[in-house]
Amino acid sequence: MPDRSFGRALRRLRLRRGISQEELGFRASLHRTYISQLERGLKSPSLKIVRQLARALGITASGLVREAERAQ
């Protein structure tokens, strides 16, 4: 799974929920600029961050990773 796929999945799920990078950052206790870097595939997250993002999106961490696998 290329690193870009996680970012694409994150962006798709965020947009599906109709929330901004700022709102997702607020919900996940992460800075908006970090969300932006993740979505563009410039940063690779730790499993801990994947969990925080998944919780903020209302899905499981495995569900978020599976979405990234589908995005390949």
| 58 secondary structure, DSSP code | T
Q: What's the length of the chain? A: 72
Q: Quick check: 7 and 41 in contact, CB under 8 A?
A: yes
Judged by beta carbon, residue 20 or residue 60, the one nearer its own copies is 60
Could you say which of 20, 40, 42, 69 contacts its own copies (CB under 8 A)? 69
CA angle in degrees (0–180, nearest 5) for 10-16-22: 60
When asked if residue 40 is in the footprint of its own copies (CB under 8 A), the reply is no
Span of 10-18, 19-27, 28-36, 58-66 interacting with its own copies by CB under 8 A = 58-66
CB of 43 to its own copies, least distance (A): 10
Q: Which residue has the tokens 């694409």?
A: 8
Binding site for its own copies (CB under 8 A): 1, 3, 6, 44-48, 50-51, 60-63, 65-66, 68-69
